[in-house]
């Protein structure tokens, strides 16, 4: 694992996604479950590998989860190879009792039947309203009819969206010792997103062959630096799921500790995960501006993470960015309550390139110019605690009246 | 300390406040520090006792605080009797370095000089924008000119407001063994309010004689059941301060453990604190609706508190109330992520009088009727975890587009 995101040979691929790695196909279809969202309104997607995959995952830590999450936890523990992910949007099938469990199992069985694979290789994702049963007849029909193809990653990415306005996809290619590997991914999630857990849906594929234990360890570290550093609205989904499927089509020995491709693969996975995380932040419900917070000089990694996450989680920071208001006192408020060790006389704060507080003393920064810097698609807030060497980065978005409109009218 | 809020003989007093107890006077004046807010726009207030008071306090736990909070912490530890509180709004004098410390000390000295009291008996409160120096000449002028009177509690309550739209005041009277006691209070705080700490300003007075150690212990318990169960926007002020001043004018032995009036006094203090807390929630920035969350059947007190506070803190719960949307799945989401022990098959949820989830199974409640119940000044969400006997109540408010407007335009 490396902090440097991009391996030397790594290239970003235009229009890449989960079907960019070799041996994956996917597709999406509209069944009628999702009654809102952008056109074309797909709401059921299947991602399929033409051979068994090693799989790693991180799941919501919420005490309230749906049967899809329980099933994923069971499959991950079983060590069974993965072949497919069937995901729907519009209904999370959570708090739906025994019928909800039966419905999830039936989706897995129907997927397995259609493609002639083991049901224990089928992961399910369900996202959307909590507390409603899935309308099974249209979903069954959709599983029977959805067409998969090697360029179907975009349709799959669209089928998992809820209040998202755009799909989030990425893919990279890199070479080690003459072997070419690909990593692709897609993600969804626009509200109910807070970084205390595995966040939202993130599905990542690779044609690299991997050692499963190494992959799970790598995903844990990567999720803590990417998806788990994302905050849109402080709320945590009951359905948060990140899965990596590695089908080994690229060939060679399984990549794990000591393999020449281990570092580059970890970098590629982290690059894709970071890209997806930033895209999720940018498309937060009602958001106009991505907020990136960098905390440096923290006394410990945990302090750096706490401070960075508290800043991007703060409604008053969010609204300060909404208003292009260089009210840096709110940054001090947020780090003050974060639980991180802070000596306020030591702290320096930057908004974009402008230092507004230097070692605890307000600078003569031209606040009108700072405000102008904030009138952008992306605003960086940087804090130097000057207590140590630890750093962390977190991502969030501004809070607008549109967020309130979206969430005041979601089920009714 | 009792859970029953109202002692048998306790009476609420119309138009009561911090000067209702005997021996207190107060007043407020406009100095020009606060450039926003409702008319009449007072921004400096002084509360004075005509004799020394026992004093107890709880202060923000933020690592970033202003010199007024540091001073209060020092005075509380010193055991010195209190005589006065001088508070201003519009500028919190936080992150203002050595000059900020000198300004706070000067306000205390000028107050002491004017009234011929010991400066160590003067508490300071400063609330408003962070990171700006106080404009001292108008404040010095205000201290010299503000007129105090026995019915000046309302002016003092108004002088401490920031984005609040109304003053929050309360007073009660009760009798024990033929002695009449009064408790009065006022509070302020409309944004940057989250229950992990002593929250906002709450100033409470009583003419009861009290034992100081008992008073501090009582305040700790009361704050944990009232002010610390309030959430408006998840952010924690750097200036949060709750003080009780007890001047003993009612006469008799100091009230403490074993005194016949200890229970009634604790009840009266808690009643006033709870009333102020509810008024703060009701006047949250942009709020239309007070949300009261009652969690019952928790496995522990800590679990009950966690679950209740998480529900009132959730942006998705807040916007669900804004939209009168009976989307109870969000209540499950919130308790699921709260950290409290939850067995989702056991949980029951009520919105107002309507049971929407019974032992993990959605009921046939008429959601249109539930929505109508939510169209009110006050909405109660009740959760029974069915795991134990512990209960807790928390208060918050809905999240409206007005909150975003208020906070996107606060300093500029």
CA end-to-end span of chain B: 46
User: What one-character DSSP code corresponds to residue A210?
Assistant: B
Say if the Cβ atoms of A236 and B336 lie within 8 Å. yes
Flag whether pLDDT at B129 surpasses 90: no
Of 1.20.1260.10, 3.40.190.10, 3.60.70.12, 3.50.50.60, the CATH number of B11-282 is 3.60.70.12
- Give the model's pLDDT for residue A160: 92
Q: Could you report the per-residue pLDDT of A261-279, keeping only the tens digit for each?
A: 999 999 999 999 999 999 8
CA end-to-end span of chain A: 46
Pick the range with the lowest mean pLDDT from A133-142, A259-268, A280-289, A335-344: A280-289
A296: nearest Cα among A285, A307, A310? A307
Structure tokens at A166: 């755009």
Chain A residues 102-131 within an 8 A CB cutoff of chain B? 129-131
Q: In chain A, whose CA is at the least distance from the CA of B314? A: A235
Alpha-carbon Rg for chain B in angstroms: 21
Sign of CA dihedral B342, B348, B349, B350: negative
- In chain B, where the domains are located: 11-282, 290-408
Angle of CA points B212, B215, B221, to nearest 5°: 145
**CA atoms within 13 Å, Cβ hemisphere of A324:** 13
- Give the model's pLDDT for residue A410: 54
Q: How far apart are CA A123 and CA A104, in angstroms?
A: 10
Q: In chain A, whose CA is at the least distance from the CA of B311? A: A235
Residue A63, min C-alpha distance to chain B (Å): 4
**Chain A residues with beta carbon closer than 8 angstroms to that of B235:** 314-316, 330, 333-334, 337
Q: Could you report the per-residue pLDDT of B271-283, keeping only the tens digit for each?
A: 999 999 899 888 8
Q: How far apart are CA B370 and CA A336, in angstroms?
A: 40
Beta bridge partners of B358: B361
Beta bridge partners of A394: A293
Give the CA distances from residue B130 to residues A371, B64, B94, B164, in Å, rounded to whole numbers and listed in that order: 17, 10, 5, 17
Peptide bond into B40 cis (omega under 30): yes
Measured in whole angstroms, the distance separating CA A202 from the mean position of its chain's CA atoms is 5
Phi-psi region of B199 (alpha: psi -120 to 50; beta: other; left: phi over 0): beta
Q: How far apart are CA A73 and CA A78, in angstroms?
A: 9
More confident residue, B399 or B104: B104
Flag whether pLDDT at B135 surpasses 90: yes
Give yes or no for A409 touching B (CB within 8 A): yes
Flag whether pLDDT at A200 surpasses 60: yes
Say if the Cβ atoms of B316 and A403 lie within 8 Å. no
Residue B79, min C-alpha distance to chain A (Å): 27
A139: nearest Cα among A129, A126, A130? A126
Q: Could you report the per-residue pLDDT of A232-256, keeping only the tens digit for each?
A: 666 556 667 889 999 999 999 999 9
**Chain A residues with beta carbon closer than 8 angstroms to that of B337:** 61-64, 194, 196-197, 235-236
Flag whether pLDDT at A325 surpasses 60: yes
**Chain A residues with beta carbon closer than 8 angstroms to that of B327:** 129-131, 410-412
pLDDT average, residue stretch A48-52: 96
Q: Could you report the per-residue pLDDT of B238-273, keeping only the tens digit for each?
A: 667 889 999 999 999 999 999 999 999 999 999 999
* Global confidence as pTM: 0.79
CB-CB contact of B281 with B230 (8 Å): yes
Say if the Cβ atoms of B336 and A64 lie within 8 Å. yes
What is the three-class DSSP state of A8?
A: coil
**What CATH number is given for A290-408 in this structure?**
3.10.20.340
Flag whether pLDDT at B210 surpasses 80: yes
Q: How far apart are CA A214 and CA A256, in angstroms?
A: 5
Beta strands in A106-259 (DSSP E): 122-129, 168-176, 179-188, 201-206, 241-246
Flag whether pLDDT at A390 surpasses 80: yes
Q: B101 falls in which pLDDT band (50, 70, 90)?
A: very high
Q: Could you report the per-residue pLDDT of A97-124, keeping only the tens digit for each?
A: 899 999 999 999 999 999 999 999 999 9
Q: How far apart are CA A306 and CA A337, in angstroms?
A: 10
Give yes or no for A194 touching B (CB within 8 A): yes
Give yes or no for A238 touching B (CB within 8 A): yes
Interface pTM, i.e. ipTM = 0.72
**Chain A residues with beta carbon closer than 8 angstroms to that of B342:** 63-64
Mutate to test the interface with A, among B407, B409, B410 (most CBs of A within 10 A): B407
Question: Residues B60, B162, B199, B205: which is the catalytic one?
Answer: B199
- Give the model's pLDDT for residue A233: 61
- Give the model's pLDDT for residue B2: 35
What's the mean per-residue pLDDT of chain B? 89
Same fold, A11-282 and A290-408: no
Say if the Cβ atoms of B404 and A407 lie within 8 Å. no
Structure tokens at B90: 């519009």
Q: Which of A131, A235, A334 sits opposite B316 (nearest CB)?
A: A235
- Give the model's pLDDT for residue B145: 97
Instruction: Tell me which H or E stretch contains B17.
Output: none
Give yes or no for A364 touching B (CB within 8 A): no
Contacts 24+ apart (CB under 8 A), A275-278: A275/A170, A275/A185, A276/A168, A276/A169, A276/A170, A276/A185, A276/A186, A276/A187, A276/A202, A276/A226, A276/A227, A277/A187, A277/A226, A277/A227, A277/A229, A277/A230, A277/A395, A278/A395
Flag whether pLDDT at A8 surpasses 80: no
Flag whether pLDDT at A340 surpasses 80: yes
- Give the model's pLDDT for residue B197: 32
Size of interface A-B (CB pairs under 8 A): 219
Tell me the catalytic residues of A: 199
The string over A228-250, giving b where at least 16 C-beta atoms fall within 10 Å of a residue's C-beta and e elsewhere, is bbbbbbbbbbbbbbbbbbbbbbb
Q: Which of A314, A329, A404 sits opposite B399 (nearest CB)?
A: A404
**Chain B residues with beta carbon closer than 8 angstroms to that of A322:** 404, 407-408
Q: How far apart are CA A104 and CA A280, in angstroms?
A: 26
Give yes or no for A90 touching B (CB within 8 A): no
Say if the Cβ atoms of B336 and A65 lie within 8 Å. yes
Beta bridge partners of A230: A395
């Amino acid at each position: 694992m490396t902090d440097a995101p991009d391996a030397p040979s790594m290239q970003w691929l235009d229009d890449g996604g989960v079907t960019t790695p070799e041996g994956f196909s996917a597709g999406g279809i509209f069944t009628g479950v999702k009654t809102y969202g952008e056109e074309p309104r797909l709401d059921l997607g299947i991602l399929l590998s033409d051979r068994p995959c090693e799989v790693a995952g991180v799941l919501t830590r919420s005490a309230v989860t749906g049967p899809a999450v329980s099933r994923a936890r069971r499959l991950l523990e079983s060590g069974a190879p993965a072949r497919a992910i069937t995901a729907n949007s519009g209904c999370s099938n959570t708090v739906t009792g025994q019928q909800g469990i039966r419905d999830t199992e039936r989706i897995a069985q129907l997927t397995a039947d259609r493609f002639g694979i083991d049901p224990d290789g089928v992961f399910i994702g369900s996202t959307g309203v909590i507390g409603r049963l899935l309308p099974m007849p249209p979903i069954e029909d959709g599983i029977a009819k959805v067409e998969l193809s090697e360029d179907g990653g975009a349709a799959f990415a669209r089928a998992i969206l809820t209040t998202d306005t755009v799909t989030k996809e990425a893919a990279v290619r890199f070479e080690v010792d003459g072997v070419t590997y690909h990593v692709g991914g897609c993600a969804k999630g626009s509200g109910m997103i807070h970084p205390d857990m595995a966040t939202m849906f993130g599905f990542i594929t690779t044609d690299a062959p991997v050692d499963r234990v190494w992959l799970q360890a790598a995903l844990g570290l990567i999720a803590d630096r990417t998806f788990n550093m994302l905050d849109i609205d402080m709320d945590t989904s009951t359905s948060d799921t990140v899965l990596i499927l590695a089908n080994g089509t690229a060939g060679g020995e399984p990549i794990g500790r000591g393999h020449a491709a281990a570092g580059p693969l970890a970098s590629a996975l982290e690059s894709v995960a970071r890209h997806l995380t930033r895209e999720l932040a940018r498309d937060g419900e009602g958001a106009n501006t991505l907020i990136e917070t960098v905390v440096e000089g923290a006394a410990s990694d945990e302090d750096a993470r706490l401070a960075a996450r508290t800043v991007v989680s703060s409604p008053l920071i969010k609204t300060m960015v909404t208003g292009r208001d260089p009210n840096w006192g709110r940054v001090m408020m947020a780090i003050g309550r974060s639980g991180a060790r802070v000596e306020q006389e030591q702290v320096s704060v930057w908004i974009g390139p402008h230092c507004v507080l230097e070692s605890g003393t307000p600078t003569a920064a031209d606040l009108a110019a700072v405000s102008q810097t904030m009138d952008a698609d992306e605003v960086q807030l940087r804090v130097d605690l000057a207590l140590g060497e630890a750093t962390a980065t977190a991502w969030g978005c501004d809070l607008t009246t549109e967020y309130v409109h979206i969430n005041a009218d979601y089920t009714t």
